[in-house]
């Protein structure tokens, strides 16, 4: 594994002429040395010394979010698109509490995020001072680690450490809370620490890898089960190569979509609650499940005792606490999945597995994913396909959370790791717009699309202002069904059609809202040729809101009822 820290010349690492700098200036310098070029936040009283120092930086661009949660997701979008730790900023009190959702989201999806918050001066901590909140205490359960910094001197250790922790092992969010007086404290700095970066892990257990290889070689009906860890560790190509060598049907979690192109002959697409029927049926029959960087999430497994009931399990994960957490593994291997796959693949024998692959093909043709009206761009699946037809694999696809997210997961031809940005573990409505903006800023050469819904977009719609300000090449596709679609669907299917609090009335005119923010707009419902209109919209650089009404009675099918076995699917 390689260090992800930017390479510094020896001169930069060694002692330099002593400078007297404030804590705030030290943080700015340390962020520059980390290679941070874009970050997002909102200033406020307790972080003003830092903002003052940041204003003097010629290397770092600050993107002003309009809500701290937006800043958090914007940074997440940068981190998800690039794999590198990204930074968000907030002031104390409400600034910090507004960040919490984005931090918790990063924790559940293992996204490297460094959140820096201002805190009231040390002398006022614990006095219920204005905009004081226990940011350290609040973030203990939702960060990988957190710091309350006590002196400017400590910053020299804490900031690089925060990046090392965020990027090493299983990635995750780290919070650094800096009291205002520490930001203002001036000290002499004569030596700069090396930037933080991903640290190497102990070598994986070779005996376990050999045992895993023997199990794969002996299996008759193996399935490869890829999770988000495959994307995080850059192991997608290695996973596809293993699948091809050993003829392994390969399923992906929501987080792993694109690790193997979803239209690869060995891809059996997404498993679980909204996976295709054939996928869950094939998993039911497998005799060996090879879980790679996946955590047996309940949305993937359904009722755990009924998940892959005939299978032995090989579980490879960077986080030892994931092994045996939900399902006991017959062979558990702790390690970076890229490194483990590199050592495992040579031990795996080429295998054609004709019978099993024939059966896979048979199930796939008998129980395929149903995508009705795929040819009609005015239908939900058709719209997703029509958008895909305007783009190539270089495009980045973000979503919000809800029906649209599942339809895009099912229907978009994702073919590249890090092409797909979605809130998996926490399932945060409001994720999409700011995360897509972050991705667009981190990789301006790509077109970024954010599929969203009318429920989700209202949860961070204020970031249209940041989109306008940056002019990012971001197309928002709003699938508006005037409802909280997945809630409406569950009330219909599982709550006796007692619809409550799930249908919107008094909906705003989203096109006018977008116009009000200064965005280009496209109303797909009123154009004669939606495909041509989409092509034109995607050909125009810069941000655009594309609006389409969707029938609220459309469902996400198939659906495994919550708590049921994956084979007990409804619909599809």
Partner 1 sequence: MNAVSKNENAALAHPQRTVLELEVNNHAGVMSHVVGLFSRRAYNVEGILCLPVGDGRYSRIWLLVLEDRRLEQMIKQVEKLEDVRSVRRHGADHAVFERLEEFFR
Q: CA nearest 279: which of 42, 60, 569?
A: 569
Find the shortest distance in angstroms from Cβ 403 to partner 1: 30
State which residue, 144 or 547, has the beta carbon closest to partner 1. 144
Does residue 232 touch partner 1 according to CB under 8 A? Answer: no
Cβ neighbours of 321 (radius 10 Å):
10
State which residue, 58 or 305, has the beta carbon closest to partner 1. 305
Q: Which segment (26-34, 268-276, 319-327, 378-386) binds partner 1 by CB under 8 A?
A: 319-327
Q: Which H/E stretch holds residue 39?
A: strand 38-41
For partner 1 (CB under 8 A), the number of binding residues is 19
State which residue, 46 or 149, has the beta carbon closest to partner 1. 149
- Given candidates 14, 16, 55, 321, which one binds partner 1 under the rule CB under 8 A? 321
Does residue 127 touch partner 1 according to CB under 8 A? Answer: no
**Token duo for residue 14:** 């060694």
- Distance in angstroms between the alpha carbons of the first and the last residue of the chain: 42
**Cis geometry, peptide bond prior to residue 71 (ω within 30 degrees of 0):** no
Find the shortest distance in angstroms from Cβ 120 to partner 1: 16
3-state secondary structure labels for all residues of 293-358: CCCCCHHHHECHHHCCCCCEEEEEECCHHHCCCCCCCCEEEECCHHHHHHHHHHHCCCCCCHHHHH
Site string for partner 1, 144-163 (x = CB under 8 A): xxx-x---------------
Site string for partner 1, 295-314 (x = CB under 8 A): ---------xx---------
How many Å apart are CA 119 and CA 133, to the nearest integer?
A: 8
- Given candidates 198, 277, 327, 380, which one binds partner 1 under the rule CB under 8 A? 327
State which residue, 148 or 386, has the beta carbon closest to partner 1. 148
Does residue 320 touch partner 1 according to CB under 8 A? Answer: yes
Find the shortest distance in angstroms from Cβ 364 to partner 1: 31
Strand partners, 292: 226, 316
Does residue 374 touch partner 1 according to CB under 8 A? Answer: no
Does residue 165 touch partner 1 according to CB under 8 A? Answer: yes
Q: Which segment (10-18, 318-326, 385-393, 537-545) binds partner 1 by CB under 8 A?
A: 318-326
State which residue, 244 or 298, has the beta carbon closest to partner 1. 298
Does residue 137 touch partner 1 according to CB under 8 A? Answer: yes
- Given candidates 326, 357, 390, 493, which one binds partner 1 under the rule CB under 8 A? 326
| DSSP symbols for 244-290 | HHHT--EEE-GGGTTSS-TTSTTEEEE-STTS-HHHHHHHHH-SEEE
Find the shortest distance in angstroms from Cβ 199 to partner 1: 13
State which residue, 126 or 508, has the beta carbon closest to partner 1. 126
Does residue 319 touch partner 1 according to CB under 8 A? Answer: yes
State which residue, 310 or 512, has the beta carbon closest to partner 1. 310
State which residue, 296 or 356, has the beta carbon closest to partner 1. 296
Find the shortest distance in angstroms from Cβ 3 to partner 1: 19
Q: Which H/E stretch holds residue 180?
A: helix 180-184
Q: Which segment (247-255, 284-292, 320-328, 382-390) binds partner 1 by CB under 8 A?
A: 320-328
Find the shortest distance in angstroms from Cβ 34 to partner 1: 19
State which residue, 326 or 390, has the beta carbon closest to partner 1. 326
Find the shortest distance in angstroms from Cβ 138 to partner 1: 11
How many Å apart are CA 43 and CA 64, to the nearest integer?
A: 9
How many Å apart are CA 114 and CA 139, to the nearest integer?
A: 12
3-state secondary structure labels for all residues of 409-466: HHHCCCCCCCCEECCCCCCCCCCHHHHHHHHHHHCCCCCEEEEEEHHHHCCCHHHHHH
**Token duo for residue 293:** 């960087």
State which residue, 44 or 171, has the beta carbon closest to partner 1. 171
State which residue, 191 or 321, has the beta carbon closest to partner 1. 321
Identify the three-state secondary structure at position 169: coil
Does residue 318 touch partner 1 according to CB under 8 A? Answer: no
Does residue 122 touch partner 1 according to CB under 8 A? Answer: no
Positive/negative CA dihedral, 265, 266, 270, 273: positive
Find the shortest distance in angstroms from Cβ 450 to partner 1: 32
Contact 39, 31 (CB under 8 A): yes
Contact 44, 221 (CB under 8 A): no
| DSSP symbols for 84-96 | S-EEEEE-STHHH
Does residue 324 touch partner 1 according to CB under 8 A? Answer: yes
How many Å apart are CA 355 and CA 358, to the nearest integer?
A: 5
Q: Could you say which DSSP state residue 64 is in? A: E
How many Å apart are CA 74 and CA 441, to the nearest integer?
A: 9
Does residue 328 touch partner 1 according to CB under 8 A? Answer: yes
Find the shortest distance in angstroms from Cβ 243 to partner 1: 27
Find the shortest distance in angstroms from Cβ 319 to partner 1: 7
State which residue, 55 or 150, has the beta carbon closest to partner 1. 150
Find the shortest distance in angstroms from Cβ 164 to partner 1: 10
Q: Which H/E stretch holds residue 189?
A: strand 186-189
**Residues that bind partner 1 in the complex, under the rule CB under 8 A:** 136-137, 140-141, 144-146, 148, 165, 304-305, 319-321, 324-328
């Amino acid at each position: 594994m390689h260090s992800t820290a930017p390479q510094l010349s020896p001169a930069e690492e060694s002692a330099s002429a002593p400078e007297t700098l404030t804590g705030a200036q030290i943080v700015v310098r340390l962020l520059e040395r980390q290679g941070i070029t874009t970050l997002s936040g909102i200033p406020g009283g307790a972080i003003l010394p830092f903002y003052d120092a940041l204003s003097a930086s010629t290397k770092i661009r600050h993107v002003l979010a309009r809500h701290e949660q937006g800043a958090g997701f914007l940074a997440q979008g940068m981190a998800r698109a690039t794999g590198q730790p990204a930074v968000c900023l907030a002031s104390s009190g409400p600034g910090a509490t507004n960040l919490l959702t984005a931090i918790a989201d990063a924790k559940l999806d293992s996204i490297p995020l460094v959140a820096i918050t201002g805190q009231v001066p040390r002398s006022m901590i614990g006095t219920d001072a204005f905009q004081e909140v226990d940011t350290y205490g609040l973030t203990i359960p939702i960060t990988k680690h957190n710091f309350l910094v006590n002196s400017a001197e400590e910053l020299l250790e804490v900031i690089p450490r925060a990046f090392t922790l965020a990027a090493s092992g299983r990635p995750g969010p780290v919070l650094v809370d800096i009291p205002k007086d520490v930001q203002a404290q001036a000290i002499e700095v004569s030596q700069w620490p090396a930037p933080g970066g991903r640290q190497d892990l102990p070598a994986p257990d070779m005996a376990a890898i050999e045992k895993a290889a023997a199990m794969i070689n002996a299996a008759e009906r193996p399935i490869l089960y890829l999770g988000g860890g495959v994307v995080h560790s850059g192991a997608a190509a290695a996973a596809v190569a293993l699948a091809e060598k050993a003829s392994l049907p390969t399923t992906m979690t929501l987080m792993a979509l694109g690790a193997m192109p979803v239209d690869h002959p060995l891809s059996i697409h997404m498993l679980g609650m909204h996976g295709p029927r054939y996928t869950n049926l094939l998993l039911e029959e497998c005799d060996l499940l090879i879980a790679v960087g996946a955590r047996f999430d309940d949305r993937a497994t359904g009722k755990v005792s009924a998940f892959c009931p005939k299978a032995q399990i090989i579980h490879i994960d960077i986080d030892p606490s994931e092994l045996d957490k939900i399902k006991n593994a017959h062979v558990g291997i702790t390690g970076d999945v890229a490194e483990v796959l590199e050592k495992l693949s040579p031990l795996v024998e080429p295998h054609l597995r004709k019978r099993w692959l024939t059966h896979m093909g048979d199930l796939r043709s008998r129980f395929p994913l149903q995508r009705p009206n795929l040819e009609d761009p005015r239908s939900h699946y058709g719209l997703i396909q029509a958008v895909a037809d305007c783009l190539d694999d270089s495009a980045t696809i973000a979503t919000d959370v809800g029906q649209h997210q599942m339809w895009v997961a099912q229907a978009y031809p994702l073919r590249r790791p890090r092409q797909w940005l979605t809130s998996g573990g926490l399932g945060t409505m409001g994720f999409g717009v700011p995360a897509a903006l972050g991705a667009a800023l981190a990789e301006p050469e790509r077109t970024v699309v954010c599929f969203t819904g009318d429920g989700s977009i209202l949860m961070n719609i204020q970031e249209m202002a940041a989109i306008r300000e940056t002019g990012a090449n971001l197309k928002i596709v709003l699938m508006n069904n005037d409802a909280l679609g997945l809630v409406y669907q569950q009330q219909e299917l599982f709550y006796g059609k007692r619809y409550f609090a799930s249908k919107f009335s008094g909906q705003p005119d989203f096109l006018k809202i977008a116009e009000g923010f200064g965005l280009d707009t496209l109303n797909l419902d009123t154009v004669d040729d939606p495909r041509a209109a989409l092509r034109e919209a995607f050909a125009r650089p810069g941000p655009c809101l594309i609006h389409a009404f969707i029938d609220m009675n459309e469902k996400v099918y198939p659906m495994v009822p919550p708590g049921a076995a994956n084979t007990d699917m409804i619909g599809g």
